Structure 1
Amino acid sequence: MKALRLLVIVAGLVLSACSTISITNQWRDPSWPGPPASHVVVVGISRSDAMRHIFEDTFSQQLQAAGIQAAPSYTQIPAGTTGAIGLRDLVKSSGAQAVLVTRVQRVEQRVSVTPSGPMYGGFYGWYGGAWASVPDVQQYDVVTLETSVWDPRTEKLVWTVTTEGIGSNNIPKATTELAQTLIPKLKTDGILR
């Protein structure tokens, strides 16, 4: 029985190492004529300059690895809401065909309770051990992100998804997982070349 319990713990660690990002909703403008973009400006909406820089750099690197020219917006646009003119100038001067914007929509705290009851000896063994067992309680954050792609020529939304993932303090890893989930979808949907 101890071997079974160890196997369950190891399986849980392996699963937690896998990507925790899932697409929950998506929409594509059916009237958008394209063509698929080969050059993108990446915008991360965050109150933290450090998180914004890390997100934009990491997502841009993932796009470049997928054969898409990408530029982080922070190099030309200061933080805050006054950057709309700067963004327009950056998109125009860079020749970007799309603007990819990601923002946090919400963060929910969840609790998982897993019973750790005894696994031996019939009812009486179980009953005696049940008094001594304590359930495993874990608190974690579920982060919902909204990622949108805008056509800078028409200034219209052409594609958007919401994703959910387990909160992480490792922004480069979380951003890489998000990019590796979204870039193939963007290509399949004809948004990126």
Structure 2
Amino acid sequence: MKALRLFALAAGLVLCACSNVSVTNQWRDPSWPGPPASNVVVVGISRSDTMRHIFEDTFSQQLQAAGVQASPSYTQIPAGTTGAVRLRDLVKSSGAQAVLVTRVQRVEQKVSVTPSGPMYGGFYGWYGGAWAATPDVQQYDVITLETSVWDARSEKLVWTVTTQGIGRNNVPKATTELAQTLIPKLKADGILR
């Protein structure tokens, strides 16, 4: 019994150390001729200017660390639907070959209940264990994001992916995990250089 508990604890620590982001769906335009982009404008769709700035800065930094020139859009484009003309101007002036856009598709609230039973070995052992063996209840959000890459020349969608992750308050860390999951895929699919 003790060995089983130690195994469960070790497995839990390994799972916590893994990336918080998983790809659920992915599509690439098979007719897109390329070439892979080496310069990207990053757009985060959010009602919060702060979240948008953090997301765009962090994702741009991750792209730059991977050898791709990247510019956050918020530096020249206001939030909202009125920025389309300015976005076109930013893409042209920056020389970007692609626009990477991420938006929240949905947030689902989940509840996890991990029951644990009392130890047996007579009533008194059971009674003491019953108090110590209350279930662990955790409430958390599962966030589904859609990240799309648009070709700047043709203005067509060339790559899109949906990802899921556990919601967290640390936006820079969550964005870094997203970028570290997506950038290798973008390079492997020939979207980024």
Q: TM-score, normalised by structure 1?
A: 0.91
Which residues of 2 match residues 52-67 of structure 1 at below 5 A?
Answer: 52-67=52-67
Which deviates more, 9-18 or 112-121?
Answer: 9-18
SS at match of 2:134: coil
Q: Which residue of 2 aligns with 1:89?
A: 89
State how far apart, in whole Å, the 2-side matches of 1:68 and 1:161 are: 19
Q: Which residue of 2 aligns with 1:149?
A: 149
Q: What's the offset of the Cα at 1:18? A: 2.3
Once the two structures are superposed, residues 8-31 of structure 1 have per-residue CA deviations (whole angstroms, 9 ceiling, x without a partner) of 345424422321100000000000
Q: Does 1:102 align with 2:102?
A: yes
Closer/same/farther in 2, CA of residues 4 and 119 from structure 1, 3 Å limit: farther
Closer/same/farther in 2, CA of residues 192 and 58 from structure 1, 3 Å limit: same
Match of 2:117, as an amino acid?
G
Q: What's the offset of the Cα at 1:117? A: 1.2
Is the Cα–Cα contact under 8 Å of residues 106 and 144 in structure 1 kept in the other structure? yes
Q: CA RMSD in A?
A: 2.1
Closer/same/farther in 2, CA of residues 37 and 126 from structure 1, 3 Å limit: farther
Q: Which residue of 2 aligns with 1:116?
A: 116
Which residues of 2 match residues 21-32 of structure 1 at below 5 A?
Answer: 21-32=21-32
Q: Which residue of 2 aligns with 1:161?
A: 161
Is the Cα–Cα contact under 8 Å of residues 117 and 129 in structure 1 kept in the other structure? no
SS at match of 1:60: helix
State how far apart, in whole Å, the 2-side matches of 1:125 and 1:162 are: 52
SS at match of 1:50: helix
Is the Cα–Cα contact under 8 Å of residues 119 and 126 in structure 2 kept in the other structure? no
Match of 2:87, as an amino acid?
L
SS at match of 2:101: strand
SS at match of 1:51: helix
Is the Cα–Cα contact under 8 Å of residues 142 and 165 in structure 1 kept in the other structure? yes
Q: TM-score, normalised by structure 2?
A: 0.91
Match of 1:64, as an amino acid?
Q
State how far apart, in whole Å, the 1-side matches of 2:82 and 2:72 are: 17
State how far apart, in whole Å, the 2-side matches of 1:79 and 1:192 are: 26
SS at match of 1:42: strand
SS at match of 2:154: coil
Match of 2:170, as an amino acid?
N
Q: Which residue of 2 aligns with 1:39?
A: 39
Q: What's the offset of the Cα at 1:152? A: 1.4
Q: What's the offset of the Cα at 1:6? A: 5.9
Closer/same/farther in 2, CA of residues 67 and 117 from structure 1, 3 Å limit: same
Q: Which residue of 2 aligns with 1:173?
A: 173
State how far apart, in whole Å, the 1-side matches of 2:152 and 2:174 are: 27
Q: How many residues align?
A: 192
Aligned residues with identical type, % of pairs? 83
SS at match of 2:77: coil
State how far apart, in whole Å, the 2-side matches of 1:31 and 1:186 are: 16
Which residues of 2 match residues 7-18 of structure 1 at below 5 A?
Answer: 8-9=8-9, 11-18=11-18
Match of 1:146, as an amino acid?
E
Q: What's the offset of the Cα at 1:136? A: 1.0
Gaps of 5+ in 2: none
